[in-house]
Structure 1
Amino acid sequence: MDKVLISQLKVETVIGIYEWEKQIHQNLLIDLEMAWDNSLAAANDDYQQALCYETVSNRLTALITEKPIELIETVAQMCADCVMDEFNVPWVKVRVMKPGAVPSAQAVGVEIERGHL
Structure 2
Amino acid sequence: MTKRILIVDDDKDICKIVQISLEKFAGWTTAIAQSGQEGLLKAQTERLDAILLDVSMPDMDGFQFCTQIRANAATRSVPIILLTAKTLPSDRQRFAQMAVAGVITKPFNPMTVWTQVAKILGW
Fold shared by both chains (TM-score > 0.5): no
Q: Is the radius of gyration larger for structure 1 or structure 2?
A: 1
Indicate the structure with greater helix content: 2
TM-score of the superposed pair, with normalisation by structure 1: 0.28
